[in-house]
Structure 1
Amino acid sequence: MRSRLARLFWPFVFACAVGAVLAGLGVWQMQRLAWKAGLIAQIEARAKAPPEPLPAMAEWPKLRPEAYEYRHVEFDGRFENDKEALIFRASGGGRREPGYLVLTPLRLSSGGYVIVNRGYAPADRKEPGARMAGEIEGETHVSGLMRQPEPRNSFTPADDPAAGLYFTRDPALIAAHFGLAEAAPFSVDADDAPVPGGWPKGGATELAFPNNHLSYALTWFGLALGLFGVFGAYAWRELKSSSS
């Protein structure tokens, strides 16, 4: 009997160690669940709040992305439609087809530039000539959500500034290509407001965020329980055989 108990020692230690790791991962996912829920609530509160004035140019260098991301703002200025940039998207605008985000510099009435994501246009509306009615001229009012620059990764294709084609929403790159001084370090996703001709279609910001951390946590906790169950069955069989 004693020898069989001794043989169970290291399996018991292994089960406890691995089970603790699995349970720890489950606890971590529960913490992530609370963090993600808080982040989603913050984003929804910012996005649905009434628009506030755009931060003054003097504040731009001091802005932190985590403090302004998805902030609802409004401002006035003139679009420089000849400096348009297109960001490729596999789908958008409520459609499951490739298209483009139309980003246009707007010269603020107070000075400086903001790159405005005016919204989604399908592939057959890629060229400005296919949506001429939507090329707004003169002083206009814009409201939308402030966005930080979109990061790149090793799978992001190279941009083609000469063709006005980009694969990330990076206002600094667009401003540099067009030689825009005093450009904002953020962009603004325009709200879904009526546009002559219907394109580009605003309101292209993705506000539906998955929060699967509860299922991840249950998976880790389930694995821990399964491991202890397997060890329990193994120990019961060993002890039972020793008593017979």
Structure 2
Amino acid sequence: MSVRMILPSLFGVVGVTILLWLGLWQLDRLAWKEGRLTEISEKMAAKPDPLLDHFEKPYMDRNYLRVHFEGVMTQKEAHVLTSLKYSGQGSQSGPGFRILKEVVWNGKNFFLDLGFVSEARKNEDRFEGPVRVVGNILTPDDYDASFTPAPDLDKNIWFARYLPQMAQELGVLPFMVVVEQAEVLKNGAWVSFDDVTPLPVSVNIPNDHRQYAITWFSLATVWFGMTCYLLWRIRQRTV
């Protein structure tokens, strides 16, 4: 190898090594993310546990857990601006609001995410009283300090489910259960709660690590090829 080839060779080896390392790191992240998604899916599909068993657990342990409980809904609500895609005959769609209602349970009050109503139904009176719930504990990640507008407190319009601020404004705990099924007690009988369209929890965590890994490995291949071509050109000139 001539002296002129040493620097390009070193440059090529370092570049390929870094790109391969980045690709392998993305594969590690892919394995971690798939494991995390599997764990969340298992939590969401499990038989619902009593809320009492999980209320005091750390955030990461209780998030997405499927639970059931019986409490009392009050008149306090927070309305979070959202929209719903059309999903078939008779379904609601268009702009509207998520209704987060205060529920009192076991001496504690927190948020119950009831689901979606259209803009026209935002300020309707909704049921207050005993409720039975099956749902998932969730700490939402809707809020982004850089992009989420401040809420319009006069009109009770929020732009993200930012529990710390919402809890402070409504005087409840920063804790939430998203409704999957709900029944309310009317005239001495438990009936399905249909004032609001439920929006059950779904796993929307992006998992693009496979594509990232392919990108890094592709760049490593291109880098290697360009290095080989450069070394070939240098050798041709020195022969």
**Alignment partner for residue 52 of structure 1, among 49, 73, 76?**
49
**1:192-207 residue pairs with structure 2 within 5 A?**
192=181, 198-207=194-203
| 1:156 aligned partner | 148
TM-score by length of 2: 0.84
> Is 1:37–2:34 an aligned residue pair?
yes
Alpha-carbon distance in structure 2 between the residues aligned to 1:14 and 1:116 = 58
Flag the 1:215–1:175 CA change in 2: closer, same or farther, 3 A: closer
Give the C-alpha shift of residue 230 in structure 1: 0.6
Which is strand-richer, 1 or 2? 2
Identity of counterpart residues, as a percentage?
A: 30
| 2:175 aligned partner | 186
Q: Say which SS state the counterpart of residue 166 (structure 1) adopts.
A: coil
> Is 1:13–2:13 an aligned residue pair?
no
| 1:132 aligned partner | none
Flag the 1:93–1:128 CA change in 2: closer, same or farther, 3 A: farther
Q: What amino acid is the match of 2:219?
A: L
Q: How many residue pairs get matched?
A: 227
> Is 1:126–2:122 an aligned residue pair?
yes
CA contact (8 A) 1:149 1:186 kept: no
| 1:141 aligned partner | 132
> Is 1:219–2:212 an aligned residue pair?
no
Alpha-carbon distance in structure 1 between the residues aligned to 2:227 and 2:128 = 73
Q: What amino acid is the match of 2:50?
A: P
> Is 1:84–2:81 an aligned residue pair?
no
Of 43-52 and 188-197, more deviation after overlay is shown by 188-197
Give the C-alpha shift of residue 167 in structure 1: 2.0
Q: Say which SS state the counterpart of residue 154 (structure 2) adopts.
A: helix
CA contact (8 A) 1:92 1:204 kept: no
Flag the 1:93–1:176 CA change in 2: closer, same or farther, 3 A: farther
Alpha-carbon distance in structure 1 between the residues aligned to 2:108 and 2:205 = 33
TM-score by length of 1: 0.83
Kindly report the root-mean-square deviation, in angstroms, between the aligned alpha carbons of the 2 structures.
2.5
Give the C-alpha shift of residue 219 in structure 1: 0.5
Of 194-203 and 135-144, more deviation after overlay is shown by 194-203
Q: What amino acid is the match of 1:15?
A: G
Flag the 1:168–1:114 CA change in 2: closer, same or farther, 3 A: same
Which is helix-richer, 1 or 2? 1
Alpha-carbon distance in structure 2 between the residues aligned to 1:126 and 1:77 = 23
Gaps of 5+ in 2: 184-190
1:36-80 superposed Cα distances (whole Å, 9 cap, x missing partner): 1011101100011111111369x63xx321111100011111111
Alpha-carbon distance in structure 1 between the residues aligned to 2:47 and 2:14 = 52
Alpha-carbon distance in structure 2 between the residues aligned to 1:200 and 1:20 = 55
Give the C-alpha shift of residue 93 in structure 1: 7.8
Q: What amino acid is the match of 2:135?
A: G
> Is 1:170–2:162 an aligned residue pair?
yes
CA contact (8 A) 1:87 1:165 kept: yes
CA contact (8 A) 1:93 1:204 kept: no
